[in-house]
Amino acid sequence: MSKPHVAVLPSPGLGHVTPLLELAKRLVTQFDLHVTVLVVTSTIPSPALSQLLHSPALPADLDVVELPPVDAAALVTDEMQLLTQLAVMVEHSLNASLKSVLLEIGTPKALIIDIFCTQAFDICKPLSIPVYSFFTASVALMTFSLYLPTMDREIDGEFVDLPEPVAVPGCTPIRTADLLDQVKDRTNDEYRWYLHHVGRLPEAAGIFLNSWEGIEPVSIKSLTEHPFYRGIPIPEIFPVGPLIKQVECTAETDAELINWLDEQPSKSVLFVALGSGGTFTSAQLTELAWGLELSEQRFVLVARFPWDRSASAAYFNAGSGGGEEDGPARYLPEGFVERTKGRGVVVASWAPQIAVLGHVATGGFLSHCGWNSTLESVSSGVPMIAWPLYAEQRMNATILEEEVGVAVKMAAAAGDGAAAVVGREEIERVVRLVMEGEKGKEMREKARLLKESAAKAVSGGGGSSESMAKVAEGWKK
């Protein structure tokens, strides 16, 4: 008898593909389903994404099918903001080929889509394929997103100009400074795309959340109990997180890094990385390097090639190295690599984040606070220095500092826009605070408890495991 067949459809970008691929792997290995991951491809190469999707470690009953590539150069321009580029590519790809590909793979029992793939609702309806949504970000962002259509109808002007924080039903109010980038200017296409996609969340047969009650109890409870969400109404929610990479491909240079970590004292190393897409400006990377040097702490610095125009410059081509062929010494302060040798390791572009965060020597994580990196950090019991760059990362940083208690936010940068820079003295202060101070010890203990909570949630009988089992058993019937 053939296994029930389910398809999974992430939107482009490593941060969206990673958790949906992890969900697919769990459905195969834990619930004996056959899963096909459908990949929206473009003409922009991403070595890290290719490595992830074609890993020899993928289970036998997990197929990866790439949709015919879309010509990114013909569809998007550099002037378009990140979400607009992504949404345009996804819409073109799905309208051109999703129906035929679903029929080719044998009309699956269900399709699980990323938040930015809602065209699938219209394509799957005549095929009688139920569509589930997977929300890749925090539940706090999802509650805000479900409230956004109401805000759009009832509020005039820009949300960032509101005199009070946004009172999301049943949740902690969100300061206007922490609102995600996509809703800060209601006149641009990015806002319209975001509103369009989140406005379709109620159409899903169910919604998977990459979270669990141990980290977001208030937001999860509000979704199931608050009259606002029940009145929309929203479909059943399934907290299944934290879904993070369990294994990752490593290179020879990674082995050298792990060997170096093996020689360092427990909890003594600060890991500095900005996720798959984050970049600093040249001026900020210089100040960061000086701050690390002044702090006199051990560190691993993932020094991605700086970009002065965009903080998300590496989003679509993660792992490609753009400009890094000559090594990071070229765009770091002169002599920095030599002066910190032995105490610090500088890596160009990419590091095995799961392995570094899980290493006993790692005692802190300077992070952009993307949701995947956040889950990886707390699942490893590592406290964070929060340095949000784009999207909803400011919101995540505030929650991690003020509600969860496992992060301290870097002070706001001085200056405006691209010229805003956090100075080396502030960086030194915060690094010492987390790595040496009492505050760091308190955060480390909270992170340790959260690590236990995360492991319990996804283990047999845990809340997230049971949530996933409930859906999987339904598909089997």
CB atoms within 10 A of CB 244: 23
Which of 92, 114, 197, 359 is catalytic? The answer is 114
Q: Which residues contact 361 (CB under 8 A, 6 or more apart)?
A: 261, 262, 264, 265, 266, 267, 268, 269, 298
- At 144-168, the pLDDT tens digits run 999 999 999 999 999 999 999 999 9
CA–CA distance, 373 with 278 (Å, rounded to integer): 12
Inform me whether the pLDDT recorded for 416 exceeds 80.
no
What sign has the CA pseudo-torsion 304, 310, 377, 427?
positive
Identify the three-state secondary structure at position 6. Answer: strand
**Domain map of the chain by residue range?**
5-244+458-476, 252-454
Inform me whether the pLDDT recorded for 279 exceeds 90.
no
Looking up tokens 């572009």 gives: 349
Please give the model's pTM, rounded to 2 decimal places.
0.94
How buried is residue 248: exposed, middle or buried, by Cβ count under 10 Å (0-12/13-18/19+)? middle
Question: Which stretches within 115-176 are classed as H helix?
Answer: 119-124, 139-154
Please report the pLDDT score of residue 13 as a whole number. Answer: 85
Rounded alpha-carbon distances, angstroms, from residue 342 to 70, 122, 171, 431, 436: 46, 57, 46, 18, 19
Its CATH class, for the domain covering 252-454, is alpha beta
What sign has the CA pseudo-torsion 355, 356, 362, 368?
negative
CA–CA distance, 158 with 92 (Å, rounded to integer): 30
Strand-pairing partners, residue 272, are: 301, 366
At position 65, the amino acid (one-letter code) is V
Decide which of 3.40.800.10, 3.90.190.10, 3.40.50.2000, 3.30.420.40 is the CATH code for 5-244+458-476.
Answer: 3.40.50.2000
Residue by residue, DSSP assigns 40-58 as --BSS--HHHHHHHT-TTS
- At 218-231, the pLDDT tens digits run 999 999 999 999 99
Query: Do 5-244+458-476 and 252-454 show the same overall fold?
Result: yes
Which of 16, 92, 359, 368 is catalytic? The answer is 16
24 within 8 A of 114, measured Cβ to Cβ: no
Q: Which residues contact 163 (CB under 8 A, 6 or more apart)?
A: none
Inform me whether the pLDDT recorded for 316 exceeds 60.
no
| pLDDT band at 308; cut points 50, 70, 90 | confident
User: Strand locations in 17-105, DSSP E?
Assistant: 34-39, 62-66
CA–CA distance, 40 with 65 (Å, rounded to integer): 9
- At 57-109, the pLDDT tens digits run 899 999 999 999 888 888 888 889 989 999 999 999 999 999 999 999 999 99
Inform me whether the pLDDT recorded for 313 exceeds 90.
no
Please report the pLDDT score of residue 311 as a whole number. Answer: 63
Q: Count the residues in the chain.
A: 477
Residue by residue, DSSP assigns 338-364 as HHTBTTEEEESS---HHHHHTSTTEEE
Does 16 participate in catalysis according to the annotation? yes
